């Protein structure tokens, strides 16, 4: 295999490598996944079968949810088997095909894992990526699970009304930065929780938050109380932990809590403890719901239309933090839990080698 791929924006024209590099999960992470939990191996490019296509990955996605996929504990999906390629979303291009659903040269976003190549059936594809409409990288972020999650979790579960107050944790992150803008687009008052002065400025300067608070500051509790003096209608939580406990105690009666992630809690085994929250649920008559985007894949057509509309109108901006080279993937995953990334974390692997 040594094809030249027809050129489109973002699709490489050089000849393709003739072997396949893969990041295998070799040990079960305890808490935050570390690079030592993965091993980079080389092997042959897998063979096509009828009904499948060979995908050359271009952008590997780095997502906080990958910790849960790699862990052995309770999760919404079966754990990645040890010794197999790390489960991951990616954007890739079809280089060879035996299915009319995935024609050669077409680009897609799907379950392509942390590797150069994969052979996939069409059911592993989540969406078509059209490089004429948006940069290919966007299909792994604002037009991928980050944008879909922000849109559906906010609009369906949070359902903010104009002039309500929406509080968001990891407000400068790949999901939170979109939630803040969407809530503002819907007329809500927005407060972002983030982890540094620099990210606070991003929140208020770039992502449309009216207020931003550094949850690492020593007077966080006082600042939260001051900013949320009138109560919070929607809390969009990506962190869990003590930030969640504090936020719950500022909810208005009838408030909605969207549990979208738990990035602030390093380990769930053994089960961590914290404040009891059932009395807050009761007395504030909260509706606290969990959101996993993979329950909602049948709703994507509406979502893509509206995301594209906001993007075209300049009402949705996004940042990407892209490294080159497959070697960078595991360390990039470790880094997102400490918040070192600046925008959606991606690994570009479309260069020749």
Binding-site ranges for a second copy (CB under 8 A): 68, 74-76, 237, 240-241, 244, 249, 253, 259-262, 265, 268, 271-292, 295
How many Cβ atoms sit within 10 Å of the Cβ of residue 106? 19
Distance of CA 38 to the CA centre of its chain: 20
Q: How far is the CB of 13 from a second copy (least distance, A)?
A: 43
| Burial category of 338 from C-beta neighbours within 10 Å (exposed 0-12, middle 13-18, buried 19 and up) | exposed
C-beta of 95 vs 150, nearer to a second copy: 150
Residue 154, SS3 per DSSP: helix
Q: How far is the CB of 222 from a second copy (least distance, A)?
A: 18
C-beta of 223 vs 289, nearer to a second copy: 289
C-beta of 271 vs 352, nearer to a second copy: 271
C-beta of 100 vs 276, nearer to a second copy: 276
Q: DSSP secondary structure string, 72-129?
A: SSS-SSPPPPTTSBPP-EEEEEEEEESSTTS-TT-EEEEE--SBSEEEE-GGGEEEEE
Q: How far is the CB of 316 from a second copy (least distance, A)?
A: 25
Q: How far is the CB of 259 from a second copy (least distance, A)?
A: 5
State the greatest distance between any 2 C-alpha atoms of the chain, in Å, as a whole number: 65
Q: How far is the CB of 297 from a second copy (least distance, A)?
A: 14
Q: How far is the CB of 278 from a second copy (least distance, A)?
A: 4
C-beta of 234 vs 316, nearer to a second copy: 234
C-beta of 204 vs 277, nearer to a second copy: 277
Spatial neighbors of 351 by CB under 8 A, at least 6 apart, are: 12, 14, 324, 325
How many Cβ atoms sit within 10 Å of the Cβ of residue 249? 16
Q: Which two tokens stand for residue 270?
A: 């053994």
- Cα-based angle 286, 337, 277 (whole degrees, multiple of 5): 20
Spatial neighbors of 301 by CB under 8 A, at least 6 apart, are: none
- Is residue 249 within 8 Å of 280, Cβ to Cβ? yes
Q: How far is the CB of 280 from a second copy (least distance, A)?
A: 8
Tell me the C-alpha distance between 157 and 259, whole Å.
Answer: 9
Tell me the C-alpha distance between 48 and 54, whole Å.
Answer: 6
C-beta of 284 vs 345, nearer to a second copy: 284
C-beta of 160 vs 240, nearer to a second copy: 240
C-beta of 191 vs 293, nearer to a second copy: 293
Rg over alpha carbons for the chain, rounded to the nearest Å, is 21
Q: How far is the CB of 21 from a second copy (least distance, A)?
A: 31
Q: How far is the CB of 149 from a second copy (least distance, A)?
A: 12
| Burial category of 178 from C-beta neighbours within 10 Å (exposed 0-12, middle 13-18, buried 19 and up) | buried
């Amino acid at each position: 295999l040594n094809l030249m791929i027809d050129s489109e924006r973002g699709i490489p024209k050089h000849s393709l490598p003739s072997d396949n590099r893969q990041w295998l999960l070799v040990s079960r992470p305890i808490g935050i996944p570390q690079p030592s939990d993965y091993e980079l191996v080389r092997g042959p490019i897998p063979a096509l079968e009828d009904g499948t296509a060979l995908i050359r990955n271009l952008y590997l996605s780095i997502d906080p949810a990958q910790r849960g996929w790699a862990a052995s504990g309770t999760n919404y999906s079966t754990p990645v088997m040890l010794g197999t390629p790390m489960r991951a979303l990616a954007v890739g291009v079809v280089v060879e095909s035996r299915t009319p659903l995935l024609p050669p040269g077409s680009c897609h976003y799907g379950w392509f894992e942390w590797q150069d190549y994969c052979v996939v059936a069409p059911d592993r594809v989540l969406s078509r990526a059209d490089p004429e409409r948006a940069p290919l990288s966007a299909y792994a972020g604002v037009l991928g699970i980050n944008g879909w999650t922000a849109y559906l979790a906010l609009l369906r579960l949070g359902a903010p009304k104009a002039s309500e107050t929406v509080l968001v944790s990891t407000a400068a992150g790949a999901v939170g930065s979109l939630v803040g803008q969407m809530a503002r687009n819907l007329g809500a008052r927005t407060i972002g929780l983030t982890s540094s002065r620099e990210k606070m400025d991003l929140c208020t300067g770039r992502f449309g938050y009216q207020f931003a608070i550094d949850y690492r500051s020593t007077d966080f509790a006082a600042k939260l109380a001051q900013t949320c003096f009138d109560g919070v209608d929607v809390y969009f939580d990506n962190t869990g932990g003590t930030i969640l406990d504090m936020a719950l105690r500022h909810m208005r009666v009838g408030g909605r809590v969207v549990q979208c992630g738990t990035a602030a809690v390093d380990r769930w085994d053994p089960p961590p403890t914290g404040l009891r929250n059932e009395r807050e649920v009761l007395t504030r008559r909260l509706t606290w719901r969990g959101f996993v985007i993979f329950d909602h894949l049948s709703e994507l057509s509406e979502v893509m239309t509206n995301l594209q509309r906001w993007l075209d109108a300049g009402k949705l901006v996004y940042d990407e933090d892209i490294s080159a080279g497959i070697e960078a993937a595991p360390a990039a995953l470790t880094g997102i839990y400490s918040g070192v990334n600046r925008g959606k974390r991606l690994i570009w692997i479309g260069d020749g080698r």
